[in-house]
Amino acid sequence: MSDSDVMSENIIQLENVDKFFGDFQALKNINLSVKKGERIVVCGPSGSGKSTMIRCINRLEEHNAGKIVVNGHELTSDVKDIDAVRSEVGMVFQSFNLFPHLSIVKNLMLAPQLVRKVSKAEARDVAMKYLERVKIPEQADKYPSQLSGGQQQRVAIARALCMNPKVMLFDEPTSALDPEMISEVLDVMTDLAKEGMTMIVVTHEMGFARSVADSVVFMDEGEIVEMNPPQEFFENPKSERTKLFLSQILTH
């Protein structure tokens, strides 16, 4: 295999990435490569840089040093390129971020119409298809404020899928949800993983990590401390920091 084949296999590649907020270093020398179809779960204590890392991947945050390549595009300050990358990378936020002034179906239709320039009718068809996949087609004409948190997050996932992304980023997708709504969102994510979607998920849902992830990344103080398949990660953690973190979140 040639070098370029190795590169093209990695849909996301971070090399020696640093990120500062003022004097505070949020990311320290991050190296991570994600292959097509891979599912990565990122965990770690709050403030460890996990959200910052995935926000750098679609440039909601700009990295200060190192190199990030997404789907063959290196992330630089070139705006055209950024929009192109973003339209290939779906993102789901902790706080859903549905557009409150648009109905559910219009939330889903907006980006395909504006970015992909598809017709209104086609955008609606695609939107309904994905609303069916997240099992809430009957909510299409309601507004976000009329839905429960779990339903809103499923809509947010469907909204991202409408752009037919090559990668999906999840930034603590279940942290803002009431406990009884977590599983309906995780079920949708599990289905997505089964269909072969490349996913990076920041979450503390260790059951999800165990059953879905190819690799679990543990971050602390802006560094990747450990990265291993779930079996290895949970049963045989290498570093003391990982052991401490796991003991804290798995005991209760």
Partner 1 sequence: MSFDIALIIDSIPKMLMGIGLTFQLLFLSLALGTALGVMLLILRISGRWYLSWPTMIYIYIFRGTPILVQIFIIYYGLPQLEFVRDGIFWPILREPFGCAIVALTLNTGAYLSEIFRGGVLGVDRGLKEAGSALGLSVTDRFIYITAPIAIRLCLPAYSNDVVSLMKSTALASTITLLDMMGIARTIVAETYAPYEVFISVMVIYLIITWAIQRTFGWIEKRMSRHVRQ
Interface with partner 1 in residues 229-248 (CB under 8 A): none
- Contact between 90 and partner 1 by CB under 8 A: the answer reads yes
Burial category of 119 from C-beta neighbours within 10 Å (exposed 0-12, middle 13-18, buried 19 and up): exposed
The residues in 155-214 that bind partner 1, with binding defined as CB under 8 A, are: 156, 159-160, 163
Chain length of the chain? 252
Question: Of 8-16, 31-39, 92-100, 241-249, which part binds partner 1 (CB under 8 A)?
Answer: 92-100
Number of Cβ within 10 Å of residue 207's Cβ equals 11
If one asks whether residue 222 binds partner 1 (CB under 8 A), the answer comes out as no
Per CB under 8 A, the list member of 42, 70, 93, 157 interacting with partner 1 is: 93
When asked if residue 84 is in the footprint of partner 1 (CB under 8 A), the reply is yes
CA separation for the pair 243, 155 (Å, rounded): 36
Residue 200's alpha-carbon distances to 93, 96, 164, 193, in angstroms, are 12, 17, 16, 10
Q: Which residue, 119 or 146, is less far from partner 1 as judged by CB?
A: 146
Helix or strand or coil: residue 158?
helix
Cα–Cα distance for residue pair 67/196, rounded to 1 Å = 26
CB of 6 to partner 1, least distance (A): 27
- Between residues 2 and 145, which has the closer beta carbon with respect to partner 1? 145
Among 39, 50, 63, 86, binds partner 1 (CB under 8 A): 86
Give 103 or 190: the residue with its C-beta nearer to partner 1: 103
- For residue 155 the two structure tokens come to 């809509």
Shortest distance in whole angstroms from residue 200 CB to partner 1 = 13
Instruction: State how far the Cα of 27 lies from the Cα of 226, in Å rounded to an integer.
Output: 15
Single residue of 69, 143, 176, 214 touching partner 1 by CB under 8 A = 143
For residue 138, what is the DSSP state? Answer: G
Query: What is the distance between the alpha carbons of residues 179 and 120, in angstroms, rounded to a whole number?
Result: 37
Residues that bind partner 1 (CB under 8 A): 58, 60, 79, 83-84, 86-91, 93, 95, 97-101, 103, 110-111, 114-115, 142-143, 145-146, 156, 159-160, 163
